[in-house]
Structures are given as C-alpha cells and as structure tokens.
Amino acid sequence: MNHKELLQTWLNALEIQHHSEHTLKAYARDVDDFLNFCQIRGLSLAAIEKSDLREFIGHKISYDQLSSSSVQRMLSAIRQFMKWTMHAGYVTHSAVDDFKLKRQPRALPGMIDIETIQQLLEQPAPQTPADQLLWYRDKAMLELLYSSGLRLSELQQLDLSMIDFERQLLRITGKGNKTRVVPFGQAAKEALLKWLNVLPQWGLSTSPHQAVFVTKQGNRLTTRQIENRVKFQAKRAGIAVDLHPHLLRHCFASHLLSNSGDLRAVQEMLGHSNLTTTQIYTHVDFDHLAKIYDQAHPRAQK
C-alpha cells in the first residue's frame, strides 16, 4: 500500500472502534500533513527517524504558527498511526513512538463560585406559560450539567432509558464509546421530573428511547441550541460570565473535589481515562487546602 491507502485503512479501523467523526477528521488532517512531508522528502515509513519528525514539527510551528496544544494533538495522531503500522506488520519499528516535546503548562479552567451557581439555578421562573416551559427544560439541563459533570455531547444524547430515577443514576456513553454510571442529586431529580411532567403540554409523549431534551417539535436539541440556552439563562439570571456547558462541568469537578478530596472518584464521574487529566482541578480552593492543613498538620498551630 502507498501512504494514502495506509492512512485510509487506519482511519477505517478507528471508525469501527467508534471514534467520533470530529476525531477522525483531525487525525486524517494531521497524519496526512506528515505523510505529505515524508513523500516530498522521499521518505518511506520504515526510514522515518526522530529527526524527520522534529523537522516536520519545527516547520509547522514556524510557518503555520501552531499552538502548543495543536502540536501535541498532531504528535499524538502521528504516534498512533505509526504504532498501528508497526503492529499491523507494515514496518518493523517506529522511531517516533517515544518522541515527545516538553508540554507547556496546561491552562487552568475558568471557574465560578457556588453562590453564582445558586443564582443561576434558583432564579425565578418566567411569568408567561410558554417561557415557563422553556425554563423547566433549561433548568433540568443546567441541574444535570452541574450535578453530574456531563459533557455537552453526553447531555445532548441523553435518552429517558439512561435515567434510573429510583437510584438517581445516569448510564452515560462518553468518549471512546466508554460507558460509565454517574449519580445525580435531588435537585436535578426534581428538575427532571418537573420537565417530564410538563412535556405533554407540547403535545409530546415520554417513551423510554425518547430524547430527554427536545424542541417544541419533538426534535432532539442540537449542541448549539443547548449552548445558546445556557447562555440565555445565565443572562436572565444577571450573571456577567460567558457561561457555557463545559464551564459547568469544570465547576462540578472543582466544587466536588474541594469538598471531598477524592480525586479518583471525581476522575470516575468525569469519565477521564487518565488521572493526570483530572489533576488539573487540584488547584481549586486554596482556602480549603489551607484549612485542612491548619486542622491536620501537627506543626500548623502553636
């Protein structure tokens, strides 16, 4: 096979493994760039050395002005592709397998405090019946985002069959088609039940495999529509923050971690495959850490 055929075979294998369309497009673009670079220099896959990858990355940084995160993403795609070619028997070794760049410090996520969250979730319902219905739906979405730390795509794909109201658990299929079970709180349960009880006012029924969050026409809300409704309700609550679903996920993780200290439990609920990803939240609430230190360390007090 030539380079292009190998790339397409690899992408087909990833598609079977249920990688998202967005991920496949990014992998295709990044690896194709590298293969074009190799082709121009007359390099076969077996002949690629670390110095070639270093030259390629240097070129992308210098001429394409790629950010550190974009470079790391590109490197990850190339390493995975080369590892696959080795395991599939197309090459005998991969010189770029352990190639790494020094990772830049990861930016800390934006955060809003618990009082602001309460201001958002406890705002009064609108006056008109039509707006009230929209608020009941939006409040259920907001409560779940904050109560369970769901990703935007996970909330958007939520069906009634995934909700266990008795045990207050959600069965979520997240990144990499991995399933996890996460709890939701009493406030989220009440908001969900309220929304489902008023849903028939739109002439819609509730069946097990129906989408939980829908439009007046009964269509599943798109991710963009959910984002817009989150921003709308933040504005209605008088919150001067660019609120988006992922920020509520950040708040869920930070507030839970600062009150529990259980990093692995937070990792499990977020659906992170690597604990390092979850550790970004350990920066939060230094006042809480100082309080724990003062209470626990034998030399903290006189």
Query: How far is Cα 256 from Cα 262, in angstroms, rounded to an integer?
Result: 8
Q: Residues in the chain, how many?
A: 302
Query: How far is Cα 29 from Cα 33, in angstroms, rounded to an integer?
Result: 6
| Alpha carbon distance, N-terminus to C-terminus of the chain | 73
Backbone angles phi, psi at 205, to 5 degrees: -95, 170
Q: Are 82 and 97 in contact (CB under 8 A)?
A: yes
Burial 89-107 (b: 16+ CB within 10 A, else e): eebeebbbeebeeeeeeee
**Long-range residue pairs from 115-123, CB within 8 A, at least 24 positions apart, any chain:** 116/239, 116/241, 117/146, 117/248, 117/251, 117/255, 119/237, 119/238, 119/239, 120/233, 120/234, 120/237, 120/239, 120/243, 121/146, 121/187, 123/233, 123/236, 123/237
Query: How far is Cα 208 from Cα 167, in angstroms, rounded to an integer?
Result: 17
Question: Catalytic residues, which ones?
Answer: 151, 175, 246, 249, 272, 281
Nearest CA among 157, 134, 114 for reference residue 228: 134
Nearest CA among 104, 96, 106 for reference residue 75: 96
Backbone angles phi, psi at 68, to 5 degrees: -60, -40
Q: Are 301 and 294 in contact (CB under 8 A)?
A: yes
Nearest CA among 236, 217, 214 for reference residue 225: 214
